Amino acid sequence: MRWWKVLGLAGAAGVAATGVVIVQAERKRRAYTPDQVRERLHARLDEQAAQAPAAPSLEPVTAPRSPISLGLIVIRERARQVKRSIAARRR
């Protein structure tokens, strides 16, 4: 049997196993009655309220920039510089 056939069979088995896991999770999720879901959501809300700080801060929350977004900012600035230099040469 060729290696690509084995790889294809392994992929098909992986897809089938993933489908089984998803179906089982969906069945568990649908097994709850609406009242049970509501109770669980209220319990989670109460837990969150207990952990929340007393007074909300008024300062905006800023997420730290990832290295990828910083790289994109550098590339964007460099592109602007190149555009300006091309426009200056055309004048």
Write down the pLDDT at residue 75: 87
Does this model's pTM top 0.85? Answer: no
- d(CA 40, CA 25) in angstroms, rounded, equals 17
Per DSSP, helices labelled H in the chain are 3-30, 34-51, 67-90
pLDDT in tens, 59-78: 776 767 677 777 788 888 89
